[in-house]
Amino acid sequence: MNTNENAAPILRARSLRHSFGQTDALRGIDLDVQAGEVLAVMGPSGSGKSTLLHCLAGVLVPDQGSVDYSPAGRAGTAISTLAEPRRARLRLTDFGFVFQFGQLLPELSAADNVSIPLLLSGTRRQDALRRSTEMLERLGLDGLGAKLPGELSGGQAQRVAVARAMVTSPAVLFADEPTGSLDSLASENVLTLMLELVREAGTTVVMITHDARTAAYADREVIVRDGVIAAGYRVSA
């Protein structure tokens, strides 16, 4: 684990509150995420974990409270005060995302899917495809770059999603039930490869999961219940 608990956290959330209509999804959450840390967020359905992830990643602006992002060597940014175009830019350059399913563009090949964040950042297509192919190879998907998502297995598709999330070398990877749609073998395979990659790159991970076995891969675990953090503890010494 590469965390330095004395350093300023890469993500700091304070007094986060967010509601959807009459439903309070977050009811005052304080959370620090250290750089290089793999954090698992657990909790029952409807507890507010996805909303927390969306607020941390600048996808949602909390009704109250703040989220500060402080990458190493750069000035900190109060994400929750940025306008959507700047948050979108930040998500593109500094964050990566992996979801449970349905995240690949069905008409694009695996390599093209992976290359999209690079193209959005202004990389030339040839270079983007070269880096995509390298990333796919690192995730054990050699020779599958030309395949469409519909032609891949669930585990392979999820590894393509991980490749896409990691191809821009993000500072933080947000994963929402990344193995929720996979069997245990595929799940283990995806997680192992993903964590190898993030630890090698020093990427911070915020991972939402229901599954205790998945959470066991994390450095630290917090449990969210009814919009507040009910418990938090270190998984590994």
Partner 1 sequence: MNPGLLKLAVVGSRSAYGRLAGIAGGVAVGVCLLLLLWGGANGLSARDDRGAWLRETGSPSVAAPRTDDPTSSGPATPVPLTEDTALMEANPVEVFRDQLINRRDVAALASTTVKIPGIGTPPEPGLYFASPALQRLIESTPGDELGNRFGTFAGTIDDAALPGPDSLVVVTGATETELRQNGRAFLVSDFTTNPYGGSAPAYRTVLSVGAIALFFPVLLLISIVTSLGAAQRRERFATLRLIGASPQIVSRIAAVETAIPSLVGAALGVALAIILRPVAAQIPVNGTRLFAADMTIGWAATTAVVAVMVAATALVAARRTAAAGVGPLGATRAVHEKTPTAWRSVPLLAGLATMITPVLMVRVLEVRLPWLESPLLILGFLLILVGLVVIGPWLTHLVSRVGLRHANSAAGVIAASRIHKTPMATFRSVSGLVIAVFVVSVFAGASSVFEATEAPPAQPGMLQPTSLYATLGAGAAPAQAAEAARQARELPGIPSATIGYGPAVLSDKDAGPEIYLRATDAPRLGFEDVPATATVAVDTSFLGSMQPLALTAAPAANLDDLVPVVIVLGTDGTPEAMDRARTALNVSGITAIPATSPLDLRLQSTGRLIQGLAVFAYLGMFVAIAIAGLSLAVATASAILDRKRILGLMRLMGMPVSVLRRIITREAAVPLLTVVLLSVGLGFLVAWLMVTFIDDTYQVTWPATDYFAALGLSLLLALGAVITPFTLVRAKTAVTATRFE
> How many chain residues interact with partner 1 (CB under 8 A)?
36
> Is residue 74 close enough to count as binding partner 1 by CB under 8 A?
no
Angle between helices 125-138 and 110-120 (to 10 degrees): 130
Q: Count of alpha carbons within 13 Å of 220, Cβ hemisphere only?
A: 20
Residue 94 has which token pair? Answer: 């500094």
Neighbours of 108 (CB within 10 A): 14
Rounded Cα–Cα distance for residues 210 and 15 (Å): 24
Question: Which 7-26 positions form the footprint of partner 1 (CB under 8 A)?
Answer: none
Residue 233 has which token pair? Answer: 């503890």
Stretch that binds partner 1, among 31-39, 62-70, 85-93, 224-232 (CB under 8 A): 85-93
In sequence order, what are the residues at sequence separation of 6 or more whose Cβ sits closer than 8 angstroms to the Cβ of residue 74?
none
Rounded Cα–Cα distance for residues 136 and 142 (Å): 6
Closest distance of CB 162 from partner 1, Å: 13
Cβ proximity to partner 1, 1 vs 120, nearer residue: 120
Cβ proximity to partner 1, 66 vs 93, nearer residue: 93
Cβ proximity to partner 1, 61 vs 201, nearer residue: 61
> Binder to partner 1 among 29, 38, 67, 99 (CB under 8 A)?
99
> Binder to partner 1 among 80, 103, 133, 179 (CB under 8 A)?
103
Rounded Cα–Cα distance for residues 143 and 98 (Å): 22
* Cβ–Cβ under 8 Å, residues 235 and 220: yes
In degrees to the nearest 10, what's the CA dihedral of 210, 214, 219, 225? Answer: 10
Residue 126 has which token pair? Answer: 């040839």
Cβ proximity to partner 1, 34 vs 113, nearer residue: 113
Stretch that binds partner 1, among 22-30, 73-81, 120-128, 214-222 (CB under 8 A): 120-128
> Is residue 88 close enough to count as binding partner 1 by CB under 8 A?
yes
67 strand-pairing partners? 13
Residue with tokens 């959807």: 20
Residue with tokens 């657990």: 42
Question: Which 157-186 positions form the footprint of partner 1 (CB under 8 A)?
Answer: 176-177, 180
Question: Which 34-53 positions form the footprint of partner 1 (CB under 8 A)?
Answer: 50
> Is residue 108 close enough to count as binding partner 1 by CB under 8 A?
yes
> Binder to partner 1 among 70, 115, 179, 187 (CB under 8 A)?
115
Closest distance of CB 112 from partner 1, Å: 6
Applying CB under 8 A, the residues found at the interface with partner 1 are: 50, 54, 59-60, 85, 88-93, 95, 97, 99-100, 102-103, 105-109, 112, 115-117, 119-120, 124-125, 148, 150, 176-177, 180, 208
